[in-house]
Copies of this chain bind each other. A is one copy, B any other.
């Protein structure tokens, strides 16, 4: 079975680990959010892409779902020392490990040379011996921006400013995907949707991981027109997100923080979800959820992926749903 999974940086990669155990790796295609791509100092960062690369090459640091496990931070710590002494910054506001830095430098070098991101990712997946396909949502520059309210003024800030610098402490008014109206998807990204037997929306943040991907018209239209079964795993359990800022962003978009809210958010974007995979915990509000999901197909299972068995079981539930 050929699967195409839309992925952000934490929930979906865990599910990918499960899929990798039960499917031939070549049959897995991942379309990755690049809306959080940014410059950190002089380095080009594609955080979700790198997490998927490290996940599929068994290098991911599973404590943070960012960077390489067991990495050291000698360069970063020295930079921080300099910045503290100078009471100034030359931009490394994110911890970059010494091994991880090589991948960031590789990407930066070829981005500066004008290579499309999709080509660089292909080089990097081959570097790591990854057989699965990894495609960026776009080779264009689409960036997730957060509109916040501060002292009765509205400010449009980068996602990194919101999530890293401010640690999510802001009154969010709205979220935009800058430039998405002009952006296209690489042809391979579109092909992978058309050639798949199932489209999986991973349990990543609907607003900042999945919606940026769907903000690319070519991708959304292809998913709708191809009429493939779409299965979504809810990243929200009960009334809270498993990780990250999904809750406060769902609220800002006017949706309840619940699996039903997630379903309706995708539905309002025009995506027909065939099956929603919810956590067993949500059984306690089964009647309410059914109502929210218009009696769509719901599967209850354990969606909190702590062990590899959890991941495999969830992957089996997803594939078994169609």
* A residues adjacent to B (C-beta < 8 A): 41-42, 71-72, 74-76, 78-79, 81-82, 85-86, 90-91, 98-99, 101-103, 105-106, 108-110, 112, 123, 126-127
Min CB gap A280→B, angstroms:
42
- For A109, the chain B residues whose CB sits under 8 A away are 41-42, 90-91
Residue from the list B79, B85, B106 in contact with A105, Cβ < 8 A:
B79
- For A81, the chain B residues whose CB sits under 8 A away are 102
B90 and A42 contact, CB distance less than 8 A: no
Q: A42-B42, A78-B99, A78-B101 are in contact. List 17 more A-B contacts (CB 8 A).
A: A41-B105, A72-B98, A74-B74, A74-B99, A75-B98, A75-B99, A75-B101, A76-B102, A81-B102, A82-B102, A82-B106, A82-B127, A85-B126, A90-B109, A90-B110, A91-B109, A98-B98
- For A72, the chain B residues whose CB sits under 8 A away are 72, 74, 98
Once bound together, how far apart are the Cα atoms of A85 and B125, in whole Å? Answer: 12
Q: Is the interface of A mostly helix, strand, loop or mixed?
A: helix
Min CB gap A186→B, angstroms:
21
Min CB gap A228→B, angstroms:
35
- For A103, the chain B residues whose CB sits under 8 A away are 78, 82
User: For the complex formed by this chain, how many copies does it contain in all?
Assistant: 2
Residue from the list B86, B102, B126 in contact with A79, Cβ < 8 A:
B102
A42 and B112 contact, CB distance less than 8 A: yes
- For A127, the chain B residues whose CB sits under 8 A away are 82, 85-86
- For A79, the chain B residues whose CB sits under 8 A away are 102, 105-106
Once bound together, how far apart are the Cα atoms of A91 and B112, in whole Å? Answer: 13
Nearest 6 pairs between A and B by C-beta?
A78-B102, A74-B98, A90-B109, A75-B101, A79-B102, A75-B98
Given contacts A86-B123, A127-B86, contact A75 B41 (CB under 8 A): no
B108 and A42 contact, CB distance less than 8 A: yes
Min CB gap A62→B, angstroms:
20
- For A91, the chain B residues whose CB sits under 8 A away are 109
Once bound together, how far apart are the Cα atoms of A103 and B75, in whole Å? Answer: 9
Given contacts A42-B112, A78-B99, A99-B74, contact A106 B85 (CB under 8 A): no
Once bound together, how far apart are the Cα atoms of A110 and B82, in whole Å? Answer: 13
- For A75, the chain B residues whose CB sits under 8 A away are 75, 98-99, 101-102, 105
Once bound together, how far apart are the Cα atoms of A110 and B106, in whole Å? Answer: 21
